[in-house]
Amino acid sequence: MKYKVPKFLERETKFFNIFTFKQLAVLGGVGAALFALYYIVPRGIFYLLLFVAVAVMTAFTFVRIEGFTLTQIIVQFFGYFITSKKYFWRKKEIIATPKFAPTKEAKKEEKQEPLRLAPESRIKKLSSQVEMGVR
């Protein structure tokens, strides 16, 4: 099984037991903007803006995908398309050794040397002694 091991453990201090300082700042900013819009914009448009603002604010504040906030993901997304992508292919230099067919002289040299047979294995002798109970 694969487990995700965090590389860096980052913990932000919590205010009001569940919100971090960043989350609290975003909530306060959106709340202040909506308060101002309540007096500037007609009621129907205000409720539409309220719904959209709360949805966007909660997405940017609380959504994390694999440890990244939505803001970080969007910045990485646009950064990927903006930056130049250069890929270089370099051929690996491999020194190939030529493989020649054995010559007649090489075959004769192999035939001249007799095969050496190993004497009977000591393990085989030991196993037969164990089976017979000989010390």
> How confident is the model over 56-93, as pLDDT tens digits?
998 888 888 888 888 899 999 998 888 887 777 777 77
**Is 61 within a domain?**
yes
**Is 56 within a domain?**
yes
**Is 4 within a domain?**
no
Q: Render 9-36 in DSSP notation, one character per residue.
A: ---PPEETTTEEHHHHHHHHHHHHHHHH
Confidence of residue 35 (pLDDT cuts 50, 70, 90): very high
- Give the residue ranges of DSSP H helices in the chain: 21-40, 43-62, 70-82, 104-112, 122-132
74/100: higher pLDDT: 74
Q: What pLDDT sits at residue 135?
A: 63
Confidence of residue 33 (pLDDT cuts 50, 70, 90): very high
Q: Which residue has the tokens 């890929």?
A: 87
The domain of 45 spans 14-82
Q: What pLDDT sits at residue 75?
A: 92
Question: Among 40, 39, 16, which residue's Cα sits nearest to residue 28?
Answer: 16
**Is 53 within a domain?**
yes
Report how many domains make up the chain.
Answer: 1
CA atoms within 13 A on the CB side of 70: 10
3-class DSSP assignment, residue 69 = strand
Q: What pLDDT sits at residue 52?
A: 93
**Is 23 within a domain?**
yes
Q: What pLDDT sits at residue 21?
A: 84
